[in-house]
Amino acid sequence: MDDKKMEMLEKYFSDFQESLAKVETLDELNRVKGQYLGRKSLMGDFLTQLRSLSPEEKRIWGQKLNEIKSRMEEDLKKKYEWLMFEKGESSSFIDVTLPGRKQWVGSFHPVLIVRDQILSIFQSLGFRIESGPEIESDFYNFEALNIPPDHPTRDDQDSFYLSPGWLLRTHTSPGQIRAMQKLTPPFKVVVPGRCYRRDAFDATHSPMFHQIEGLVVAPSISMGDLKGTVAIFVRRFFGLHRQVRFRPSYFPFTEPSAEVDVSCGVCQGKGCRSCGYSGWLEIMGAGLVHPQVFAKVGYDPEQVRGFAFGMGVERITMLKFGVTDIRWFLENDVNFLEQFKALR
């Protein structure tokens, strides 16, 4: 074995120890590691020289190199631990060799998902999407919809008035009036949006909620057209096995008027706790547009007819997914919202 090479190796290790003793930061530690054990270090040259040695010299020289290299690596490890846990460098250190932290992936809100599904179904039936302002005048929100001055919904205990004659809309039905003022029959529109009422905030009511209003106006429209459109929507949204029922009702802006029910998906219409043992769940109000509403926008009730419907998006969402408390939609509970990731 070449004594000169051995002396060089011992000197190399001694220089490494002196440099390591001066290290005070992780950056300095990395520089020392690269200088003495990196690919371009003298240690790399020592290992390369093994190729030209005899088998016996290679065994002795290789054993010594591995011994020195192991001692250097152990000293580097001890220095690292001292810097991290005794000197407090861990707070500013990033170990790039560790696996990355998985980012939390957000999801669309279930009400938004259901709203878009509903709109997509009606768009496939030829409906166009319209919008309207959330702050409405008394004319659009009440008067043009044939709602009389003494109607309870016009009371300030039921509606959010901002100033005399102006309020936060209580339904999306003002979109009917704006659509008829804007468009020439025949046309089909749906109007989604937020609505506001002075309701108690409980499991089934909220002061702010979402509605979707639908309106079809043409020279010849019948109740049969309304029933057929609603039936198509129900079976596309809830499933082909669901049944539809119309019950007589009253709304100032439609005549005749009806409440629309869908058969309970839990008991298949047989009656259970979810549907109050009736076998049916209410999903929307609907009817033929009242002649007085046509007259308010300048349409001749003798020349055109139409039907309208309106549904609460939160209610539809609750029925579709079995949600029992409307407040869950507003609490921003990640565990609750994550359940709907795969639906978008």
CB 191 within 8 A of CB 176: yes
Of the candidates 302, 224, 311, which has an alpha carbon nearest to the alpha carbon of residue 259? 311
Structure tokens belonging to residue 278: 């009736």
SS3 of residue 308 by DSSP: strand
Divide the 344 residues of the chain into consecutive groups of 10 and give the mean pLDDT of each group.
72 86 86 83 74 75 82 88 68 66 80 95 96 95 93 88 94 95 95 94 91 95 95 93 93 95 83 81 95 95 95 93 89 85 68
DSSP 152-206: GGGSTTTS-EEETTEEE-SSSTHHHHHHHHH--SSEEEEEEEEEE-----SSS--
Q: Which amino acid would we find at residue 25?
A: T
Cα 307 to the center of its chain, rounded Å: 33
Query: What is the spatial distance between Cα 265 and Cα 311, in angstroms, rounded to a whole number?
Result: 18
Report in angstroms the alpha-carbon separations of 53 from 10, 61, 79, 219. 19, 9, 34, 103
The arrangement of strands across the sheet holding 166-168 comes to: 135-137, 166-168, 161-163
Q: Which amino acid would we find at residue 152?
A: P
Widest pairwise Cα distance in the chain:
116
Structure tokens belonging to residue 233: 């929507």
CB 151 within 8 A of CB 211: no
Q: What pLDDT score does 92 carry?
A: 52
Of the candidates 220, 222, 216, which has an alpha carbon nearest to the alpha carbon of residue 188? 216
Q: What pLDDT score does 20 carry?
A: 85
Q: What pLDDT score does 93 carry?
A: 55
Q: In what helix (H) or strand (E) does residue 210 lie, and over which residues does it extend? A: strand 208-218
CB 241 within 8 A of CB 260: no
Q: What pLDDT score does 56 carry?
A: 77
Tokens 């309020």 sit at which residue?
A: 167
Note the helical H segments in the chain. Answer: 3-21, 26-37, 42-48, 55-81, 110-124, 138-141, 174-182, 223-237, 291-296, 313-321, 334-337
Query: What is the spatial distance between Cα 176 and Cα 172, in angstroms, rounded to a whole number?
Result: 8
